[in-house]
A and B are shown apart, each in its own frame.
Chain A
C-alpha cells in the first residue's frame, strides 16, 4: 500500500495544476504598463500597426504556436491598422527576459504607442482577440 501514496499525491497535484492550466491558457489579461515600457519597431524588428500590434512569441517545441499564428494572421488580415509580428523566443532571449515571458505561445497586445495593454499565455480564443482589438482606439 505504501507504494500507492506517491501515485495519489502526483495525480492529485497534477490534477489541480491541470485544471488551473486549462482555465488560464489562452485567456487575455489586461496589462498595466507605463509609457516607459513601450516597445518600438526597432526592438521588435518590424514596424508597428497604426492602431494595434499583436506580438506572438513562439518556440520550436510548441504545439499551440502554429494554431495561434494561423488564428492571429487570419484576424489581422482584414484590418489594415493592426499588425501581427511573430518572434522566435529562442533567438530573442534578451527581449524574453525583459518582457518576463515564461512560456510559448505568449501574445502581447500593444496599443498605437507600443505600450502593452494585454497579454495571453497559450492559444487565445478568436472572439476574445476580436473583442480586445475592437476596444482599442
Chain B
C-alpha cells in the first residue's frame, strides 16, 4: 500500500456522502434567496452555516441536522461514505466567499456582494446538481499558484 493510502486510512473519518449533497441543495436555495432579495442578512446566515461546517465539520451544520432527522430515514439502499475533509474544504471556500460578500455589502460595494455570493452559489449548485468536487478541482491549482 502506498504512503498516502495508509495516511488516509489512519484518519479515516467518513460520513454519509449524501449529507453534503443535500446540504449543497439547501445552500443553493438560500444563496438564490440572498441574491434575489439582495439581503446581507441571508448571506450572514449562510456564512454562519459555512463557518460551522468549516470549523466543526460538515456533519454538524443545521442542514446536516435536517438531513439526519428528516431525509436519511427515508433513503433506502447502500450508504455511500465519504471522507469529511473534501466537504469541509468546500465549506471553508464557501465561508471565504460569504465573508467577502458581507464585507462588500457593509462597505457600500454592492457589486462585490453580488459577485462573491454568485461564486458561492455556482459552487453549491454544481455540487448539488452535478456532484461537483470543489476540492478536486481547486486545491491543487491553489497549491500550484502558491509555491
Using CB atoms and an 8 Å cutoff, list the residues of chain A in contact with chain B.
3-4, 6-7, 9-11, 13-15, 17-19, 21-22, 46, 58-66, 69, 85-90, 93, 96-97, 101-105, 122
Contacts and interface: CB of A to CB of B under 8 A. Distances in A.
Given A18-B130, A63-B83, A88-B7, 14 more contacts: A3-B36, A4-B35, A9-B118, A14-B129, A21-B126, A60-B135, A63-B87, A64-B136, A87-B2, A89-B140, A93-B147, A101-B140, A103-B141, A104-B139
Interface string B104-142: 000000000010001001100110011111111101110
B86 A103 contact: no
Contacts, number: 114
B133 A64 contact: yes
Contact of A14 (B87, B126, B140): B126
Contacts of B7: 88
A7 B35 contact: yes
A22 B133 CA distance: 11
Interface in B47-74: none
Contacts of B36: 3-4, 7
A4 B78 CA distance: 39
Q: Which of A6, A10, A59, A85 has the most CB of B within 10 A?
A: A10
B82 interface: yes
A18 B132 contact: yes
Nearest to A84: B2
A90 B122 contact: no
